[in-house]
Amino acid sequence: MEESLKDRITIKDNFNIEADLRKQSQHYYEVGEKIVDARNERDELSERLKIVKAELDVEIRGTATAKLTEASIAAKIITDKRYTDVLQKFLAKEKEVGYLDVALKALEHKRGALETIAKMQMSGIIQAKSSIGGV
């Protein structure tokens, strides 16, 4: 079973510092890859949104039977299902990118915490394989 993102960023009470430090760079790389992919997909959706908007603009202007204002054209575009479908996908991907950015920062914090714990163990402040809740 694959470890969840939340599990990857959490230092558990019964952690193994050596194992966690060894896994840390791999976890960071995997989240980094996911961010690159998600940003790329988000950017593609952004471009698709522009294309749909332009296509709808041309369609609305081409089928108008009366003079339309820019505001009415814009209103028709943003309420069209083709536009709203792409917009929803874009917003969902934007949210995913945000969560992955937070996960990457959390992994950076975890690395710092693991390094601090290792230093504390080496200096004898805490015992190896200590249970440290919430760290």
3 state SS for 61-87: HHHCCCCCCHHHHHHHHHHCHHHHHHH
For CA atoms 12, 108, 37, 33, give the dihedral sign: negative
Structure tokens at 31: 């989240």
- Contacts of 90 by beta carbon, 8 Å cutoff, 6+ apart: 42, 45, 46, 48, 49
Structure tokens at 49: 């949104």
pLDDT tens by residue, 26-84: 889 999 999 999 999 999 999 999 999 999 999 999 999 999 999 999 999 999 999 99
